[in-house]
Structure 1
């Protein structure tokens, strides 16, 4: 039978573990961010803009970077992919942290 190799390579094992964190964090911030945008809590224009940016731009970028693993792995290699995912995750986490500090 010509099915996929089992067990999957170390890269895909780490990718699945990273996915648990990425998808949980994205879902959490999607729900939390949406609730904050719908609340009547007073906030400034900068906080409101950063809130919308993190929910509408950074969160999908994080999920897309995780989903595009196979395509990116062929182009930048395994190390380059993990560096890219790490950079996107740090930018996302920083944006969320600053947003949370400004909004609440």
Structure 2
């Protein structure tokens, strides 16, 4: 086979730790963002568009990049995977931050 299955490699240990942050943040923003959409609070077109884009595109992209680790690791390597996850996470976090600022 490919070596011992236990203990998991350092990559998978870090992946599990990243998953705790990624999945908690995605769940939090899913609930928070959905509550913002459902509350018919008056907001501008930019804030509304960014809120919907963050919920419908960026949050699933963040979870997808995290969950596709084995596939992406084979294609881009470990360093490339962490850079990709970091880039998607930074874009997602920026979107959430700007949305929160606009909706004040």
Task: Work out whether the TM-score is over 0.5.
Answer: yes
Partner of 2:62: 62
Task: List alignment gaps of at least 5 residues for structure 1.
Answer: none
Partner of 2:51: 51
1:26-67 CA-to-partner distances (Å, cap 9, x unmatched) read 000000000000112110011000000000000000000000
Q: Are 1:82 and 2:85 counterparts?
A: no
Task: List alignment gaps of at least 5 residues for structure 2.
Answer: none
1:63-83 CA-to-partner distances (Å, cap 9, x unmatched) read 000000000000000000000
- TM (norm. structure 2) is 0.95
- TM (norm. structure 1) is 0.95
